[in-house]
């Protein structure tokens, strides 16, 4: 067991060694072969887009490795590590860096299928298996959850929705115990909690669909034009916004909060479609984001991301099959920070 206090999970936009993704394996998860084919095509598009800027490794079941490699093309490497679903942010390895010198480690957050809502016999082993292949130590402190459910600024501050962590389907302890374990696993010092929403989606409202750290002291959040108290998602989002406005980070700073407006006229007719602009991925030299068919909102979101990341290329992709499956680009990716491995 490694003492996680000697490690820290860095800000996502820090330099990367590579990106990990997962090849979706089982049609029943997505509602049939046709839906699986669409999701695979979208995953391949994202992987090839990221590969323009940094190395990408796709994890795939050994029997699907050749087919995945053919679909992905020569710019994406494929490793034979068994997968079920595609959400590498949650079931993949969360990498932590030493506070001083030394190798990376894998912080295993104890993925359990979002509170045992989905089978995870293989997905629950991915973090450990990747760590072993890289020759890295893997730490686990008893915490159960997903990296998509927490954001870190890399300098001591974390934020999350309580609904994804202080939830009996993941952790049996109370808020203080869960907070201690989460800060320990991330190498952070201050936790900013907002209530979130339990039971309305498989993730219990992951924070990365709503609010992200751009850099220490700055947060981007996606909101509708007005608060709709009859809509639990709207009520929770505005509640998180108010909490962030009143919060301070580990250095005692108030946050500069940038708002991205919700899209309105989107292509998808899926009732549970995730239309989150903030579920982007910041890789080396680029921000890989989504567009949803609302030209005005899409351009506004792209322009805001360009302002927030002025030295990076903003790439906007149609990833509707992922939104219909309940997530987005950030959910499908996991970065390995630059460092000895």
Domain definitions of the chain by residue range: 4-337
Q: What are phi and psi of 214, to 5 degrees?
A: -80, -45
Burial of 63 (0-12, 13-18, 19+ CB in 10 A): exposed
Gap between the Cα atoms of 221 and 209, Å rounded: 9
Q: Return the bridge partners of 215, or none.
A: 218
Catalytic residues: 331
User: What residues have CB less than 8 Å from 46, skipping those under 6 apart?
Assistant: 21, 288, 317, 319, 329, 332, 333
**Tokens 């997530």 correspond to what residue?**
327
- Tell me the Cα Rg of the chain: 18
What's the start-to-end Cα distance of the chain, in Å? 18
| Domain at 4-337: CATH code | 3.75.10.10
- Name which of 280, 246, 245, 243 is nearest 260 in CA terms: 280
Q: What are phi and psi of 236, to 5 degrees?
A: -70, -40
- The whole-number pLDDT of residue 340 equals 54
- Residue 104 near residue 95, CB atoms below 8 Å: yes
- The whole-number pLDDT of residue 6 equals 86
Token pair belonging to 182: 């989460």
Gap between the Cα atoms of 10 and 138, Å rounded: 17
Tell me how far CA of residue 321 lies from CA of 50, 267, 330, in angstroms. 18, 11, 14
pTM for the full predicted model: 0.96
- Residue 144 near residue 109, CB atoms below 8 Å: yes
Per-residue DSSP letter, 248: B
- Report which secondary-structure segment, H or E, holds 334: strand 334-337
User: What residues have CB less than 8 Å from 231, skipping those under 6 apart?
Assistant: none
Ranges of the chain whose pLDDT falls below 70: 1-5, 340-341
Gap between the Cα atoms of 13 and 48, Å rounded: 19
Neighbours of 100 (CB within 10 A): 6
């Amino acid at each position: 067991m490694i003492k996680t206090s000697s490690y820290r999970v860095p800000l996502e936009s820090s330099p990367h060694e590579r990106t990990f993704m997962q090849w979706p394996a089982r049609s029943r998860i997505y509602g049939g072969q046709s839906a699986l084919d669409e999701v695979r095509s979208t995953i391949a598009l994202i992987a090839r887009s990221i590969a323009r800027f940094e190395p990408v490794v796709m994890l795939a079941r050994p029997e699907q490795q050749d087919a995945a490699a053919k679909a992905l093309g020569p710019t994406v490497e494929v490793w034979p590590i068994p997968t079920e679903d595609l959400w590498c942010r949650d079931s993949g390895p969360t990498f932590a860096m030493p506070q001083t010198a030394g190798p990376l480690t894998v912080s295993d957050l104890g993925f359990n299928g979002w509170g045992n809502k989905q089978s995870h016999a293989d997905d629950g082993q991915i973090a450990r298996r990747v760590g072993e292949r890289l020759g890295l130590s893997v730490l686990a402190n008893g915490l159960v959850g997903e990296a998509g459910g927490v954001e870190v600024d890399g300098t001591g501050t974390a934020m999350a929705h309580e609904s994804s962590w202080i939830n009996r389907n993941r952790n049996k302890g109370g808020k203080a115990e869960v907070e201690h374990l989460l800060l320990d696993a991330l190498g952070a010092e201050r936790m900013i909690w907002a209530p979130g929403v339990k039971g309305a989606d498989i993730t219990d409202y992951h924070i990365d669909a709503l609010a992200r750290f751009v850099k220490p002291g700055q947060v981007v959040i996606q909101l509708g034009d007005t608060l709709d108290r009859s809509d639990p998602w709207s009520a929770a989002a505005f509640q998180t916004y108010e909490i962030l406005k009143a919060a301070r980070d580990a250095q005692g700073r108030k946050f500069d909060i940038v708002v991205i407006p919700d899209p309105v006229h989107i292509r998808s007719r899926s009732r549970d479609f995730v239309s989150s602009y903030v579920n982007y991925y910041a890789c080396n030299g680029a921000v890989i984001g989504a567009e949803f068919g609302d030209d005005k909102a899409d351009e506004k979101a792209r322009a805001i991301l360009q302002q927030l990341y002025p030295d990076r290329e903003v790439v906007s992709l149609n990833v509707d099959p992922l939104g219909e499956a309940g997530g987005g680009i950030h959910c499908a990716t996991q970065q390995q920070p630059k460092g000895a491995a």
